[in-house]
Amino acid sequence: MSWALSGFGDEIDQDPVVQVAVLQALGANHIEVRSAWGVNIVDLDDEQLARLAGILTERGMGVSAIASPIGKVDVSLPVEHEVERLGRAIAAAQRLGTRYIRLFSFYRGDDVAVESIRDDVMLRMRALADAAEAADVVLLHENEKDIYGDTPERCLDIVETVGSPNLRLAWDSANFVQVGVAFPFDDGYAALRPHLEYLQVKDAVAATGDVTPAGEGDGQLLATLTALRDDGYTGFASLEPHLADVNNMGGFSGPEAFGRAGRALRRLTDQIGVQLV
């Protein structure tokens, strides 16, 4: 069995040429694009997008997903705000040759109860799914901490309520650990697996929330990877190490730490007999 290895290029360097070089040195043939030259993917102009596409094509690099910031805003913003930004993410996905676009399910104010924003979240996720259906792309909801869908139960609530074949789930063990899900695999995998279509790879220590390479934290990565193998998963495994710097719009690792994260994942996949290509 083989999975396609990918990774967030801007965790390596701002320059896409360096991003691709490091990923290819780790044996990856795909990249997950969040930003290039320090500019977010939804803010690249047509010339920059064409230049990026040229770099990737010239080096034989596929794109696993557009790591958009859609839904990483307060839920009080109008529905149209993120639908319009999704249009730019869709254009980038089509230009770079991927159907996958990562997104989130909205922040809320510090004193706002998560239950109180459910209807507003579902309205917005349905509108985003409608746009995805029209464009024939697949939205991947990431369980980012502090958004509505940051626990297994609320991730399931989103995909079941929206009920769109163009809205699927990305699994991130570290993010679950950081919001207090003590055993992500035990507590969430079985329920979410029917909707799971993409794997983002990082781990975290429950006691501190610190992010670690795969298998060095409490995210039950080995159990999750083994179950995915047994379930016949054949999709992407995308490195998002977050080993040097983390903020609410992403993270950074640098080439050396990114390489350490890649080797940690490969140790686990070697152990279970999955080839990363």
The CATH number for 104's domain is: 3.20.20.150
The average pLDDT across 54-60 equals 98
State what percent of residues in the chain have pLDDT above 90. Answer: 95
Residue 71 domain boundaries: 2-276
Q: Cβ(219)–Cβ(179) under 8 Å?
A: no
**pLDDT average, residue stretch 126-133:** 98
Average pLDDT of span 42-69: 98
Q: In the prediction, which pLDDT does 242 show?
A: 85
The yes-or-no verdict on residue 91 having pLDDT over 60 is: yes
85 pLDDT higher than 60 = yes
What pLDDT, on the 0 to 100 scale, is given for residue 254?
A: 87
Q: pLDDT at position 252, please?
A: 75
User: Quick one: which of 192, 198, 146 has its CA closest to 170?
Assistant: 198
In this predicted structure, what is the pLDDT of residue 102? Answer: 98
pLDDT single digits (tens) 229-255: 999 999 999 999 988 766 655 677 889
Q: What is the mean pLDDT of the chain?
A: 96
Q: Convert 23-58 to b/e letters by CB count within 10 Å (16 or more is b).
A: beebebbbbbbbbbeeebbbebeeeebeebeebbee
Sign of CA dihedral 145, 151, 154, 156: positive
Predicted pLDDT at 64? 99
Those residues with Cβ within 8 angstroms of residue 36's Cβ, 6 or more apart along the chain or in another chain = 9, 10, 14, 15, 16, 19, 44, 48, 52
d(C-alpha 49, C-alpha 248), whole Å: 24
Say what the pLDDT of residue 18 is.
97
Which pLDDT does position 49 carry in this prediction?
A: 98
What is the Cα–Cα distance from 135 to 92, expressed in whole angstroms?
12
Cα three-residue angle 129-138-6, rounded to 5 degrees: 145
pLDDT, residue 244, reads: 76
Q: Which helix (H) or strand (E) holds 30?
A: strand 30-33
> In this predicted structure, what is the pLDDT of residue 247?
61
pLDDT average, residue stretch 201-207: 97
Q: What is the C-alpha to C-alpha distance for residues 232 and 116, in angstroms, rounded to an integer?
A: 38
Over residues 156-166, the pLDDT tens digits come to 999 999 999 99
User: What are the beta bridge partners of residue 2?
Assistant: 275
Relative to beta strand 39-40, strand 35-36 is antiparallel
- Overall domain count for the chain: 1
pTM of the model: 0.96
Specify the residue for token string 């990363």: 276
